[in-house]
Amino acid sequence: VGSHWDISHESLSLFRLLEPQIEILVLGTGDRVERLHSAMLKQMRECGIAVEIQDTPNACATFNFLMSEKRMVAAGLIPP
């Protein structure tokens, strides 16, 4: 995934396969917060995974905070 345009059902499938299952996926979309297709977000919610989309620096901070709370979290980060 090189940009937010490359994020697809297939690229998110890894996060649905993780064991133990994650509860939150933090996506960092580079320098800016970018919108993703609503069908992808709906599919993740249906699998029980909340998706938080932020610019990458803030996504890193959110991931670290959630980890410190011992939450089941994963991150997908596109470099700014």
The 10s digit of each residue's pLDDT in 10-60 is 999 999 999 999 999 999 999 999 999 999 999 999 999 999 999 999 999
Q: Kindly state whether residue 2 falls inside one of the protein's structural domains.
A: yes
What pLDDT, on the 0 to 100 scale, is given for residue 47? Answer: 94
User: How many separate domains does the chain show?
Assistant: 1
Q: What number is the average pLDDT over the span 58-78?
A: 98
- Cα separation, 64 vs 17, whole angstroms: 22
Domain that holds residue 66: 1-30+59-79
Q: Kindly state whether residue 54 falls inside one of the protein's structural domains.
A: no
What pLDDT, on the 0 to 100 scale, is given for residue 29? Answer: 96
Selected residue with higher pLDDT from 65 and 2: 65
Q: What number is the average pLDDT over the span 72-78?
A: 97
What string of DSSP letters covers 43-76?
HHHHTT-EEEEE-HHHHHHHHHHHHHTT--EEEE
